[in-house]
A and B are shown apart, each in its own frame.
Chain A
Amino acid sequence: MKHILINEWKGFLRNRVFMILLFIFIFSLFLTTYLGIVQNNKQIQAQKEAQEHISEQWDKMDHGNPHQSAHFGSYAFKPTSVLNSIDEGINSITGNVLRLEGHRQNDVMFSEASQSLLISKFGKMKPSLLFQFIIPLFLIFLSFNSYTQERDTGRLKLLLIQGASLKKIIFSKIISIWLIGLVLLLFATCIQLIFNLHQLNIDTLFRLILLLISYSLYYLILINLTILLSVIFKSSTGALSLTVVIWVMWVVFLPKIIGNTVEKIVPLPTRVEFQDEMDKDRAQGIDGHNPSDNRRQELEQATLIKYGVNSLSELPVNFRGILMQADEEYGNDVWDKHFGTLYSQLQTQKNIYQFSGIINPFASLQSLSMGTAGTDMFHHLYFLSQAEEYRRDLIKKLNNKWRDGNWDKSFFNSIEDFHYNVPSFLMFIGKYLLDIVLLSLWSVILIFLVKYLSKKTVIL
């Protein structure tokens, strides 16, 4: 096997076209990875500066009362992960800045897709684009005639007569082409490691390793499938055509078809419907700014009883602070109800979509690629819930201070900025187990099929 492998690599290295293509790929990978890192670092720096600016603005501003500050609010920045430079996932669509204020929960703003030119909405040149679309095609083209060439030239008989088994010949070819994919993956990984050395931690390393394993498995599946089809079919063009058709199904049609089906199974409300429903429920709550509101009057009564006084002016605390917090808590309940349902619908959609990996390993790969890069929906929802938690805490602090009175600049300055705790990958690994299992299953089944076929194939 070792000799066949070495010979295959000699063939690659002495092939001028292959070497030119390999150089192009390595150069493209270097460029996309490096530019991705530069862009990432710029984004991290821009976020840092924006955060500092907001912090400074908060510290220097004349706050008036805490409720005014609640209206002024703050911002939560979704930090760009180091691996965002490999796969930006849904980040370019979802945006990365969230305005946090009293009375309302806002949507994330400033998605790149909403700000960039139309052309870049089709996807930026990230290594994931090369890993998922270009390199697989390259590997398919290297694989499709790797076996048939030996068979059609009669060299296969010579190899067998010399004592090499068909199984060894086929697997050597699979491994030799797979190694090319691995070299390209490792190259991009090394670039990441070199240029991000100062930002690396165990969690990122672990993510990077899983990213490598995922792509390696996917390449193994593709190469196995291509060679399997070339063993089955007499014509190498037939095998190539079928492989390309399957690949296009995997990367273009099935994701759309399955995506649409999932949306039909678990439909999401439209933005307008969702907002209408939210507004309807919200309107039934306390209107903190409307003195004739029934609920407000109920709260007034309850507060007067609690403090044992007859009028609001006798209260030792500011009733407006209590009122605003009550309004806030009602709003939180409404938000929890609606967004809770929406999040669980999104999670159900994602879970169902993950099962499509049974027929489409590309779906599992994409899920793992975005997941390990920390740019998928799970990570986005995690950011949103942390930001919301911070918002609630911030508004509560301000409302309570308004209730109790006696605030000064030091109180406002003591309020901490939003810090996003990036979830450790171990927290999330469970959500990707299905993808890992399905990719591994695809690999094992195809290896088994190739092994079986190599025993059954008649050489003539």
Chain B
Amino acid sequence: MIQLNKVYKTFNNHKALNNLCLDVKSGEIYGLLGANGAGKSTTLNLILGFLKPDTGSIDLIDASNTSIATDMIGYIPENVNLYPYLSGVENLDYFCKLSGFKYSKNELSKFLIECGLQDDAHHKSVAEYSKGMRQKVGIAIAYAKKAKVYLLDEPASGLDPLSSNELSELLKKLADTGSAILMASHDLFRVRETCNKIGILKNGNLIKEMDADQVTPEELEGVYLNFMKN
């Protein structure tokens, strides 16, 4: 579903991505691991269309082999900064309207519940929300617009273990509906727990790809540290 073919990207003579090839299939959760400056955010910005590759191509194609428009991408940044003067439901309603979806209050609440936000929080101001709660609204925004591709930038950063676990479960549920999920992270444990496939990015090069179920958390840590040191 998400296909990056031989993508190069440089910033002021610095190679941010070097011949990156990536394939995230429908129903798959792909974890992109890497240190700061490895090229994870550049990869996401390229897929989101905020950057153009120097060479190479980025294709978003659904199961029937037709192109997915960028507005069918759901993007969940590290900090989902919603409008603090709106409630969770109002935020969701606003972002849905921007994508051309108009839902009833019940439907909006249903989306929030499906994304794990408790009923009693729906009408509270987002200023009172924890990071995890805002993230759930962020995912609900993507879910409500029927996104086929989800891009997550450090989604588990700063979340408590319970929220982090809830996030993993939610992403798995979304993948089960046929969505392709690409998740950039530092968190080896969370990536191992959540993803089907893992890629390690170093200095813009995809140096290792593996299936998550083929490695134990300890092995993954060993592989990651080994690549980072060399």
Contact = CB atoms under 8 A, between A and B. Distances in A.
Interface of A: 3-4, 7, 10-11, 14-15, 153-155, 157-164, 458-460
Given A11-B85, A14-B85, A154-B77, A159 B98 contact: yes
A433 B86 CA distance: 46
Contact of B75 (A7, A10, A11, A157): A157
B98 A15 contact: no
Interface of B: 45, 48, 50-51, 70-71, 73-75, 77-83, 85-86, 90, 94-95, 97-100, 138, 141, 145
A154 B79 contact: yes
Nearest to A7: B94
B83 A157 contact: no
A164 B90 CA distance: 17
A308 to B, nearest CB: 97
A285 to B, nearest CB: 77
B94 A161 contact: no
Contacts of B90: 10
Given A157-B48, A460-B45, A460-B50, A162 B81 contact: no
**Chain A, interface SS category:** helix
Given A154-B77, A459-B50, A162 B95 contact: yes
Contacts of A7: 83, 86, 94
B32 to A, nearest CB: 18
A162 B95 CA distance: 6
B95 A158 contact: yes
Contacts of B82: 155
Question: In the complex, which of the residues A11, A162, A163 has the most CB atoms of chain B within 10 Å of its own CB atom?
Answer: A162
Contact of B141 (A10, A153, A158): A158
Contacts of A163: 71, 98-100
A157 B77 contact: yes
Question: In the complex, which of the residues B50, B79, B141 has the most CB atoms of chain A within 10 Å of its own CB atom?
Answer: B50
Contacts of B86: 7, 10
Nearest to A150: B81
A155 B86 CA distance: 14
Given A10-B86, A154-B79, A162 B50 contact: no
A458 B51 CA distance: 8
